[in-house]
Structure 1
Amino acid sequence: MRAELVLMGKRLDMAARVHRRALVVSIYAGLAILMAALWSVDRWHTSGVYMIFATFLVNRLFLGGYNFGGLVKPFNGKTPEQSTYRETPFLMLALRVYQPAPEESEYRNDEREVHQRDRAHYQAYQVLTIALTVLWLLADWKMKAPRLLAWMPVSADVLLYGLVLMAVVAAVTLPQAILLWSEPDMERTD
Structure 2
Amino acid sequence: MSADDEVVAGAKRGDPEAWRALYRDHAGRLLVWLGTRPTSDAAVGADDLAAEAWLTAADRIASFHGTSSEFAGWLFGIARKLGANTHRRGLRRRTHPADVGALEGLPSVAGPEPAYVAQDRVTRLLATLPAREREVVACREVVGLDVETTAAALGVSAVSVRVAHHRGLRRLAAQLESSERSPAR
- TM class by smaller structure: under 0.3
Normalising by structure 1, what TM-score?
A: 0.26
Higher relative contact order (CA 8 A, sep 6+): 1
Normalising by structure 2, what TM-score?
A: 0.26
Larger Rg: 1
| Greater percentage in helix | 2
